[in-house]
Amino acid sequence: MKTYTFKEFNKAMALIGILNTARTLKQGATMHIAKDAPEYLEAISYVGVSAREMEKAGISEGDDVVVISDHGQVTVQARKMDLQPGSFFMPLSYLANRLVSAETHGAGVPGFKNTVVTIKKPDE
């Protein structure tokens, strides 16, 4: 049986928490160009994670990570953000929409602020 150091074990850990989505200033400034423009894709293709949790999971700024929910998954870059542990952020876009349920619970708006996600490094 292989044994792992504490650091190796932590690097294999997945992060679990709540995804919050919203439009960003950079996204708004680039969306008029075209939604397939490199500037726009860069503005939406990330998930914000606290520095503490990135360290815990062995994730570095700019690493590709897989964000998984009960509704889908996407691969985006990890970015350090000033967030509480267990709270993640993604710009509102077709990428975030893949993770959010279409169910509105009678409110007319999907759960853009309360989707449970798992974030992990891609399988090697």
Q: pLDDT by residue (tens digit) across 53-94? A: 999 999 999 999 999 999 899 999 999 999 999 999 999 888
- What would be the CATH architecture of the domain defined by 6-120? Beta Barrel (2.40)
Q: Average per-residue pLDDT in the chain? A: 82
DSSP state for residue 2 in the 8-state scheme: -
Quick check: 83 and 51 in contact, CB under 8 A? no
DSSP state for residue 123 in the 8-state scheme: P
C-alpha angle 118/120/121, rounded to 5°? 160
Tell whether pTM > 0.85.
Answer: no
Position 39 scores a pLDDT of: 79
Quick check: 76 and 108 in contact, CB under 8 A? no
